[in-house]
Amino acid sequence: MRFGIKTLDDIQAEGRTVLCRVDINQPVDREKGALKSINRIEACVPTIRELSDKGAKVVLLAHQGSDIEYKNYYTTRPHAAVLTRLLGREVKWIDDVCGPAARAAIQELQNGEILLLDNVRFVAEEQTLFEMKLRLTHEQQAKTLLVEKLAPLADLYVCDAFAAAHRDQPSLCGFEQVLPSCMGRLFEKEFCTVSQVMEEPVRPCVFVLGGAKISDAFLMMKTVLDRGVADRILTGGLVGNIFLAALGKEIGQGSVDFIMKSNYGEYIEKAKELYARYGEQITLPVDLAWVEGGERREAALGGVPADIAAVDVGGETAQIYREAILSAKTVFVNGPMGVFEQEPSEAGTKAVWQALADTEGHTVLGGGDSITATEKYGLTDKMGYICTGGGALIRFLTGEELPVVKALRHGAGLGQ
């Protein structure tokens, strides 16, 4: 047991039916009916293989597609084919979630066999609108259709979906109320890794915060500064621009207009407050880049044309950040330095990511854009640890108790 949650070492799996919630949500090429990436699928393979090897009857629950709009949902059928290849054993699939066909397939499983159910978000109670509007307690989630139909067929529940641990939905938090529960190997590894960053980071500890998810960045920044976790924060992307604007630095009216039009004006005041208190620990860009006529341009603060928005940090800033990263013992990264998807505005992100690859310190990356940048530059094998979770990781680093963590701690108290 770790952090009050049971692990696979604490359960007996042989001959038991195990409901295992994984996060294998991947970008989909709908025209080809294929997955564009399989990194999350690869990450959960160790848990699935271990359960199967131990003789469990493994039932996989997973979602696919954004849960805001129904049109984004997609079947999990391609995932079963990928898992079959990665595991070297058949992963059965059924186009049902908790109906008669799914329940019959579960009851027919033999020891060691694996069954992937279809997208759990085809069930209404797994949708965001259901979650946000009704706000069911975990006890109420245990009485939803999904849990009431599947839990009686199972002996154990395993959650290996740390990437979805910030969600409060029946497939993630309901089963732990009625079944003995534990976390899978991926969940265990990710939860312990980020807990280490928050509780006992090897110092100096540097946070690199960029990107455009402002609310998450500011919540996380305040938490790690208030708790004394971060010794230094390097800012980039929209996060850096907001701080510069808050301090009255000339970053180009185009950048300021973008901040205000995006309804981020409130964060200018928050940036002022944070900088007033922690200014010595917050490092801001000293130069910026923009694109003009398809070409990259750079200038010190005050040199960006008034009608153009900055889209990257400049070369001098990238060098300062590189030196800070190379001297750190722990580096946590969330968010790129600019619009790295386009060649003229990627230099800052590319330089910082190369520093992450070169440092001898322990690096921890999280967030979709951070992972995409790492893959783009071919640096995946150079990073210390890459978290599959974005929202869950950030929520954890803001000091929030994740719903799934709370549920798993409850499930740890139920007998096998």
Q: What tens digit of pLDDT does each residue of 102-149 get?
A: 999 999 999 999 999 999 999 989 987 788 888 999 999 999 999 999
Give the DSSP letter string of 192-216: HHHHHHHHSPPSSEEEEE-SS-HHH
Looking at residue 374, its pLDDT comes to 93
Dist CA 163 CA 46 (whole Å)? 16
Q: What is the mean pLDDT of residues 368-386?
A: 90
Q: In terms of Cα–Cα distance, which of 292, 250, 243 is closest to 268?
A: 243
Flag whether pLDDT at 67 surpasses 70. no
Report the percentage of the chain scoring pLDDT > 90: 71
**68 falls in which pLDDT band (50, 70, 90)?**
low
CA neighbor of 122 nearest in space, from 149, 146, 155, 89: 146
Rounded Cα–Cα distance for residues 71 and 318 (Å) = 40
Per-residue model confidence as pLDDT tens digits over 258-300: 888 888 889 999 999 999 999 999 999 999 999 998 999 999 9
pLDDT band at 70 (very low <50, low <70, confident <90, very high): low
200 pLDDT band (50/70/90 cuts)? confident
Q: Which helix (H) or strand (E) holds 234?
A: strand 232-235
pTM of the model: 0.84
